[in-house]
A = this chain, B = another copy of it.
Amino acid sequence: MACNKIITIGRQFGSGGRKIGEALAESLGVKYYDKELISLAAKESGVDPSVFDSVDERAANSLLYSLSMGVYSFAGNMDQMPVNDRLYVLQHKIIRQIADEGGCVIIGRCADYVLRDRQELVRIFVCADMDYRIRRAIEQKGVKESKAEQAVHKTDKSRANYYNFYSGRKWGQTENYDLCINRTNLTDEQAVSVIRGYIDVL
């Protein structure tokens, strides 16, 4: 039987959570969504994907303010929204549509919060030791050695701001997830095996 679990993966920058998510989706035979969420949002809205890409997982810190001022409504015209909020609202809608289609793996973008009412939800968080993440940022993401630690902190901060702002929860806090896995001493395959160990007992 096909896996019907909706698996969300939060991840520290440089932890390799994306690769683990890809391998997990393949192992379960379900679809995988990461940057795909941007293309889908762009397609739905007609906005250039590169515009959305530049604000992906960044909070504008303006949605609640705008809502409280009654500047726009979700049901109506989104053109006046800051592009960050517009992308969040579109991704929110797309994430719910994707989940309706069955089992999948979704990386980041508050998907665990967006889908909090779904019984099939499995919330994973991938972390790793700082040394591992710095090395990975240099080797896999082409970050300069002298800038790597700063880049790790900066991207984590940006992801945390995004998550905390839109969800009202705290990014990376254990009780917001079903399983938090430190992958420092694990290969992608081993990490997938541990996550499957959780999914398979449910």
**Chain A interface (Cβ < 8 Å from any Cβ of B):** 12, 125, 127-130, 172-175, 177-182, 185-186, 190, 193-194, 196-198, 201-202
Contact = CB atoms under 8 A, between A and B. Distances in A.
Contacts of A177: 180, 182
Contacts of A186: 201
Contacts of A172: 174
Given A125-B180, A173-B174, A194-B201, 10 more contacts: A125-B174, A127-B174, A172-B174, A174-B182, A179-B180, A179-B182, A180-B181, A190-B202, A193-B197, A194-B198
A174 B180 contact: yes
Nearest to A172: B174
A174 B123 CA distance: 14
Contact of A175 (B182, B194, B197, B202): B182
A174 B175 contact: no
B197 A185 contact: no
Contact of A178 (B174, B178, B182, B197): B182
Most chain B beta-carbon neighbours within 10 Å: one of A128, A179, A190, A197:
A197
A186 B201 CA distance: 8
